[in-house]
Amino acid sequence: MADYDFIIVGGGTAGCILANRLTDSGQYRVLLLEAGADASSMWIPIPAGFSKLMTNPRFNWGFETEPEDNVYGRTIAVPRGKGLGGSSLINGMIYVRGQAEDYDAWQQAGATGWAYRDVEPYFRKLECYPQGSDRRGKKGPMHLEQVAERFPIADAFLKAAVQDGQPYNDDYNDQDQEGFGYYQVLQHKGRRWSIAEGYLKPARTRKNLTIQSGAHVVRLVFEGKRCMGVVYLKDGREVKARAQRETLVCLGTVQSPQLLELSGVGRPQLLQEHGISVVHELKGVGENYIEHFATRMNWRVKNTITLNEMSRGLTLAGQVAQYYLQKTGILTLGTGLVHGFVKTSPTLATPDVQYFFVHASYANAANRVLDKEPGMTIGVAQLRPESRGTIHIKSADPHRAPAIRPNFLDAQVDQQSLVKGMQIARRIVQQPALQHYIAHETNPGKSVNNFDEWLDFARHTGQTIYHPIGTCRMGVDDDAVTDPRLRVRGIDGLRVVDASVMPLMVSGNTQAAVMMVAEKGADMILQDAKA
């Protein structure tokens, strides 16, 4: 059995950051275990390659929700990145810190030490955004760029938003989030800048870091109430590794609670139903699942060329040549071009809905197949859903996916916010600045007008936007899984460091918050190691 100071389970966003920070001094021996492969594909550095990677089982675990009545019995895709770099290999690269109030709410919910004043330095530490104000990081490992490509219809959308009374906001990550502008993305000189590039690559040559890809951790090993290490599968055989100091679970919101339950940590009745011996009772494992739920509104457009046509035939060939010669053009685009953060009621202190505008529309969103005719899309997502779901094992088999039950649109405030957000999006599109381009609304269409019709459209068509959090919630109450130092409550030598520890949803895409959690978590781990 090999011995290490720290074992990191999962080579995604948080795992790569911990691997870098914990090996930096050369003092600690670290083992990084990742079930997927190395980040090797021609599509990974190409921003638009996400459409290829998102449906590739080599890079996506391909999870799905259980059928639920709230969405008329549909199963909904829950993509999770697989491979060194995790979801940063396949996501849309959008970078959103969230609102200061989000993190202040974490502290109020029992995550002491996680108020915005506590976490803001870690955002600056990870950012490399030279064009930002002094409140933005300039020299961090993660390169950020504002979306560089400009299109007339996108500029017209921004003008329409202003005509609707919405503010223009050039940097939604600097103090005030409200308003419209171009997204900031994790790219460098037109290439995807993944966690593997920013954090893992600089650490790979360190002698105190051992990386094992293709290593599927199947259970944690305990002696009494202390985690001693892990058992993982490598090339079809079981391998054991011992952690002298701590085992750090970084598998994300879907798989971190799964591993805890497979290892005997969770709800006793659930574990016993699957023949798993109870090591430690923690009723909150797999509870408090929160996810952003979004609808896509579509319009057929005219008097312009959209991505639908530009991604075909000779035009696409020209775009490919442009990208390889200049690192510009449509291959630099991810999932969002223009952002919008709006308040659906004047009584709200901060925005509660996020928009993703792109001049493209899907014929088949699940398979990433674009329409043949010109179109545009506005994705509409409620920022801070109150609906809560669960993620629990369905079997003691570590290769079987857990049961993901989001319980979307259960809370009335979620329904109201999403419907109002869609109504405001339609109102913006009806402003004069866009009329030169709009032919007609295709989804949901002009026949949808009252609240029940809007809500029905959302239940029939809404999807996740791949931001699961909360299933190993940190806090100080009896149902919290981790304490505010990310230690699993009641177990020594074990922490969870990933999106699953977030007690409440942040207002926007979650990758920035995950990076912050890992940076702050690394500091906590190193502080405790010296104590």
Q: Which residues are catalytic?
A: 467
Q: What is the pLDDT of residues 377-414, one digit of tens each?
A: 999 999 999 999 999 999 999 999 999 999 999 999 99
The pLDDT, as a whole number, for residue 293 is 97
Tokens of 305: 């060329």
Q: What percent of the chain has pLDDT over 70?
A: 99
Nearest-CA neighbor of 162 among 179, 182, 146? 179
Are β-strands 293-301 and 438-443 bridged in parallel, bridged antiparallel, or unpaired?
A: antiparallel
Angle, helices 100-108 vs 116-126, to 10°: value is 130
Nearest-CA neighbor of 419 among 456, 468, 376? 456
Q: Give the separation between CA 134 and CA 97, rounded to whole angstroms.
A: 15
Nearest-CA neighbor of 5 among 246, 342, 320? 246
Q: What per-residue string of b and e applies to 440-469 under the rule 16 or more CB within 10 Å gives b? A: ebbbbeeebeeeeebbebbbebbbbbbbbb
Q: Give the separation between CA 46 and CA 26, rounded to whole angstroms.
A: 34
According to the CATH classification, is domain 148-182+293-384+409-461 in 3.30.410.40? yes
Q: Report the CATH architecture of 1-144+186-291+388-406+469-531.
A: 3-Layer(bba) Sandwich (3.50)
Q: Give the separation between CA 12 and CA 213, rounded to whole angstroms.
A: 11
Angle, helices 412-429 vs 451-461, to 10°: value is 100
Q: What per-residue string of b and e applies to 398-408 under the rule 16 or more CB within 10 Å gives b? A: beebbebbbbb
Say if residues 242 and 1 touch (Cβ distance below 8 Å). yes
Q: What is the pLDDT of residues 27-65, one digit of tens each?
A: 999 999 999 998 789 999 999 998 889 889 999 999 999
Say if residues 458 and 295 touch (Cβ distance below 8 Å). yes
Q: What is the pLDDT of residues 231-271, one digit of tens each?
A: 999 999 999 999 999 999 999 999 999 999 999 999 999 99
**Residue position matching structure tokens 């709200």:** 348
Q: Do domains 1-144+186-291+388-406+469-531 and 148-182+293-384+409-461 have the same CATH topology?
A: no
The domain spans of the chain are 1-144+186-291+388-406+469-531, 148-182+293-384+409-461
- pTM for the structure as a whole: 0.97
